[in-house]
Homo-oligomer: A and B are copies of this chain.
Amino acid sequence: MTYLDLNTPQRTIMTPGPVEVDPRVLRAMSTPILGQFDPAFTAIMNEVMEMLRKVFKTRNQWAFPVDGTSRSGIEALLCSVIEPGDKVFIPIFGRFGYLLTEICERYGAEVHTIECPWGQVFNQQTIIDEMKKIKPKVAALVHGETSTGCMQPIDQIGPACREEDVLLIVDAVASIGGVDIRVDEWMIDAIVGGTQKCLSVPAGMAPITYNHRIEKVIAARKKVERGISTDDDRKNELSRTHPIVKSNYLDVGMLQDYWGPRRLNHHTEATSMLYALREGLRIILEEGLEERFIRHKEHEEALIAGIEAMGLTLYGDRSVKLATVTCIAIPNGVDPESVRAMLLDEFGIEIAKSFGPLEGKIWRIGTMGYSCRKENILFVLGALEAVLIRHGVAVKTGKALQAALDVYATQKKQSKTVVP
């Protein structure tokens, strides 16, 4: 049996991730690789650390990618910090809060959760009050919930955690690079971002950053460094007060020694993915963070205008909407998967369904990174209108694209920002 050359269909990817990869990033990946300890490569590693600090708005020494998809970064931080029996506090407002909970429980944490209805987020004071009552070692929460399209404000939570000596760990997988995040100003102790969403880099890396408070916890759990373990070494390690991190692959202390000046061998860095991440970060810094956030807001506005002009209803509390994910309540009587299939088959457009209680109730449209472009917004609006008509939904016809174009025209007048 012979296998053919890759021959993939052309797609317009409007899900909340993975989204279209910037063509420059695709090209960067075809650069020949270097050895992981080649000085030319370690220079690239250092450069990526510097770029990540800028994107995370932090002066943390440690900012590097974990070599795995987003959840590998979440798990690396959690499993390196949490010891069995530790109290962890997790406010849940969608599916990915459950993921944080599950990971913490697997590693033996005593997890305390509060939940609010999906489509909403918490008042920050509620989280702070609960945190003070529970007195956890760690508070972990999601910033942008892709499952509901809601964004939890977090600027006041960090300072409150600092006062109570609680470590704040944030999942910013869906928001980093699309929405403002200020790691130092908001006193976030550790954070993980996703590559396959607003950075427009393929899935396969999980950028993290963390401060000295986290580093101290990790240092206490570090393996005694050695070339080769001996039985004595092992016994010494196993008798340490703080248990060694369960995972070797996701042990942030070991990753730190690999990314740091000691360059202690751990895994073999995923060279081509690092080239991709570097190019993705370079594009963001060239565009400018603030300009990029405005761009995401502007396209979101046009998309929403089009959707509402069609007579469709958005899902979730508008005041806490995540700019990079727009959720549409599925009209009564329509088969949600049939609509998605027709969008894919006839237009090559992918939009997303949702999870758990929201499956079959909402569609989700992502406006992230390179996918967040005017032509994509207009294409998806036109296609959705056509497909809904085919499905017998009584949409207001001919309005969606006009409304979106109006939004773009107004933006052009009001701002110096040229929407790309």
Contact = CB atoms under 8 A, between A and B. Distances in A.
Interface in A1-54: 2-3, 6, 8-11, 13, 15, 17-18, 20-21, 23, 26-36, 38-41, 44, 47, 51
Contacts of A266: 71
Contacts of A275: 6
A19 to B, nearest CB: 9
A269 interface: yes
Contacts of A411: none
Contacts of A17: 268
Contacts of A329: none
A203 B268 contact: yes
Contacts of A9: 34, 40
A61 interface: no
A95 B230 CA distance: 11
A125 to B, nearest CB: 25
A13 B33 CA distance: 9
Contacts of A3: 47, 51, 278, 282, 285
Interface bin, chain A = 35 or more
A31 B238 CA distance: 47
Contacts of A33: 13, 18, 20-21, 202
A202 B272 contact: yes
B227 A69 contact: no
A267 to B, nearest CB: 4
A366 B27 CA distance: 28
A105 B238 CA distance: 9
A181 B15 CA distance: 41
Kindly name the residue among A34, A249, A266 whose own CB sees the greatest number of chain B CB atoms within 10 A: A249
Interface string A202-239: 11100000000000000000000001110000100010
A129 interface: no
Nearest to A251: B106
Interface string A261-281: 000011111111101101100
B38 A31 contact: no
Nearest to A272: B202
A126 interface: no
A45 B21 CA distance: 19
A123 B137 CA distance: 51
A42 B271 CA distance: 25
A103 interface: yes
22 contacts: A3-B47, A3-B285, A6-B278, A6-B279, A8-B40, A13-B34, A13-B35, A26-B30, A36-B203, A67-B69, A69-B249, A75-B249, A98-B229, A99-B248, A101-B234, A106-B248, A202-B271, A203-B269, A203-B271, A228-B357, A247-B247, A272-B276
Interface of A: 2-3, 6, 8-11, 13, 15, 17-18, 20-21, 23, 26-36, 38-41, 44, 47, 51, 67-72, 75, 79, 95, 98-99, 101-103, 105-107, 196, 202-204, 227-229, 234, 238, 244-250, 265-273, 275-276, 278-279, 282, 285-286, 344, 350, 355-357, 359
